[in-house]
Amino acid sequence: MGIALTAGSLYFRSPSLTFGVVAGVILGIANLWLIRKAVDGLLGGHKSSLTGAYLVKIIGVFGLLFVLIKGVGLNPLGIVAGWSVLVVVASTGAAVMTETSADGQEASEGDE
C-alpha cells in the first residue's frame, strides 16, 4: 500500500512530496514497532522504564518530523499521507481478521 501511494505521488512530479510519502511510511512503521515494544513491556510488567521510553519516543518522533519538514524540506502533506497508510492497513486487516474469525465460529457451530 505504501508503494502504491509512493507511485501515485510521482504523478505530481514533486520530489518533496514523494520523499515525504516515503518518510511518512518509514516513520509510521518505526512508530508502530516502538508502540508494540512499549505494549510488550507494559504487559511484561516493566512499567517504570516504559514511561521514560515512551516519552523519549514521542520527543524523538516530533524532533525527526521537525527536521524532515524544516531542515530537509519535505512536504508535510506527503508525510501525513505516508503515515496514514498504516491506519488504513491496520483497519482493513482488523476487519478481515474479524470477518475470518466470525466465519470460523459459524463453521464450528454448524459442525456440532
pTM here?
A: 0.70
Q: What is the pLDDT along the chain (112 residues), one digit of tens a residue?
A: 777 777 777 787 889 899 999 999 999 888 888 888 877 777 776 666 667 777 888 899 999 999 999 999 999 999 999 998 888 877 777 666 666 666 655 544 555 4
Show the beta-strand stretches assigned E in 6-109.
none
Task: Count the alpha carbons within 13 Å of 76 in the hemisphere toward its beta carbon.
Answer: 7
